[in-house]
């Protein structure tokens, strides 16, 4: 009888060990399956990000950090160094997009009095803050610099004014703006005294603003010798 009790206790112990082993195997299988699912989602997210990036850039990988230099003139056409043109030509960007458009992003402006933003990225020089878009007027800027006209500068510095542009580091990235068959831009005049031929003057100034993806930015025109502003 004693041997029978010992055998029964042994069987119960082995059964408990087997049950614990099965639970542990189930746990391990669950962890492996969860990791596989995370990896699958990560791969899908990476592929989607790659697809969106290809859609935005047309496959052109042009992204540089330059020092902003104020320039004069109307509109939103920056000046870039000759090396930028050479790189864009090498990647056939000039055949891909006409006119050329660039995403202009202010980088880590806390030293100029900007509040730090929550935008991701910015490995080149800290956080990415305010972003606008611009075309290019010419490739005559000194190497390492970008000539920024007042309209683009104010879209980057906002209420801080043009003085905040001095020495600002900006990221310049080639983008291929979408060109839907039907598109429009809505303008809101600011101030009083607009000329009644506002449509004609606005159309005349539109070529100075080749990169308008939308958002709350300011378009400036000159009518009868006076500068006017419209929010777009």
pLDDT tens digits along 106-155: 886 454 444 333 333 333 444 556 888 999 999 999 999 999 998 888 88
Task: Give me the pLDDT at residue 86, please.
Answer: 94
pTM for the whole thing? Answer: 0.62
Which pLDDT tens digit goes with each residue over 192-207? 555 555 555 555 555 5
Beta pairing class for 169-175 and 101-107: antiparallel
User: Is it true that the peptide bond before 119 is cis, omega within 30 degrees of 0?
Assistant: no
Residues 82, 139: Cα–Cα separation, whole Å: 5
59-91 tens-digit pLDDT? 899 999 999 999 887 788 999 999 999 999 999
Confidence check: pLDDT of 54 > 70? yes
Closest CA to 174 of 49, 90, 69: 90
What mean pLDDT is predicted for residues 213-224?
Answer: 45
Q: 1-33: buried (b, 16+ CB within 10 Å) or exposed (e) per residue? A: eeeeeeeeeeeeeeeeeeeeeeeeeeeeeeeee
Q: What is the reported pLDDT for 43?
A: 94
Lowest-pLDDT choice from 21-25, 97-101, 181-185: 181-185
Q: Distances from the Cα of 215 to the Cαs of 6, 30, 187, 218, in angstroms?
A: 81, 46, 11, 9
Query: In the prediction, which pLDDT does 5 show?
Result: 83
Identify whether the C-beta of residue 152 lies closer than 8 Å to the C-beta of residue 209: no
First CA to last CA across the chain, in angstroms? 95
Beta carbons within 8 Å of 2's beta carbon, 6+ residues apart: none
């Amino acid at each position: 009888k004693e041997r029978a009790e010992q055998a029964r206790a042994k069987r119960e112990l082995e059964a408990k060990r087997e049950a614990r082993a099965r639970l542990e195997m189930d746990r391990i299988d669950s962890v492996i399956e969860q990791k596989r699912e995370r990896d699958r989602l990560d791969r899908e997210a990476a592929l989607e990000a790659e697809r969106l990036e290809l859609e935005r850039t047309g496959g052109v990988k042009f992204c540089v950090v330059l020092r902003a230099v104020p320039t004069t003139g109307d509109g939103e056409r920056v000046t870039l160094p000759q090396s930028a043109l050479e790189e864009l030509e090498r990647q056939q960007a000039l055949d891909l997009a006409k006119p050329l458009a660039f995403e202009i992003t202010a980088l880590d402006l806390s030293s100029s009095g900007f509040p730090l933003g929550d935008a991701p990225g910015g490995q080149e020089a800290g956080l990415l803050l305010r972003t606008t878009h611009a075309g290019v007027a010419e490739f005559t800027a000194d190497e390492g610099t970008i000539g920024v006209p007042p309209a683009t500068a104010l879209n980057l510095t906002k209420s801080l004014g043009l003085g905040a542009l001095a020495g600002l580091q900006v990221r310049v990235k080639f983008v291929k703006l979408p060109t839907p068959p039907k598109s429009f831009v809505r303008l809101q005049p600011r101030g009083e005294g607009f000329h009644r031929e506002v449509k004609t003057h606005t159309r005349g100034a539109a070529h100075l603003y080749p990169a308008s993806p939308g958002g709350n930015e300011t378009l400036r025109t000159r009518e009868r010798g006076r500068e006017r502003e419209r929010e777009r």
